[in-house]
Amino acid sequence: MKTVRSLALGGILAALYAALTILLAPISYGPLQVRVSEALTVLPFLTPVAIPGLAVGALLANIFGGFGPWDIIGGSFLTLIAAYLTRLTAKTGKPWLAPVPPILVNAFGVSAYLQFLVTGFQPGIKTYFYFVVTIGLGELIACFGLGYPLLRFLMKKKLFIKNNA
């Protein structure tokens, strides 16, 4: 039963992440973005089931993003890494740390390939750090501004706590 429940929850999170990103496409893609769906990236703090769910959701969402395989594969992989690192923050017992991995991983990781895609594979430290700042700010808004209050609410309601699923 727990496996079915975990699979269902992962699927729901994947669908929710993808739907939020796609429905809010004008602000979800590109160098200046605030992905509201990134608020969900704090959920691995509460349950490991969120890790694959978020990665699959990012993969589905990035199919519609316009940056092709780099974003579909690269962005999904970065989401997987960030989700795993967020899960590790749960061991600290400090929920305020949960938004940090997705902010840092996406700000520095997505900027690495986005810089080359936007500039035609021309190296440029200024462009890279421009993307780090703009993506980082968007992540900060989504993860701390929306995700952290969501995490505190779910913790207060003790959702995901009972069965850790």
Cα–Cα distance, 79 to 74 (Å, whole number): 9
Query: What SS3 state is found at 164?
Result: coil
Query: What pLDDT is recorded for position 118?
Result: 84
Tell me the C-alpha to C-alpha distance, in Å, between residue 92 and each of 53, 69, 123, 139.
Answer: 23, 35, 38, 22
pTM more than 0.75: yes
How confident is residue 159, by pLDDT bands cut at 50, 70 and 90?
confident
How confident is residue 32, by pLDDT bands cut at 50, 70 and 90?
confident
Query: What SS3 state is found at 120?
Result: coil
Query: What pLDDT is recorded for position 161?
Result: 63
Mean pLDDT across the stretch 25-36? Answer: 88
If you search the block for the tokens 């700042």, which residue do you land on? Answer: 133
Residue 163 has pLDDT above 80, yes or no: no
Judge whether 50 and 159 are in contact, CB under 8 Å: no
Mean pLDDT across the stretch 37-45? Answer: 98
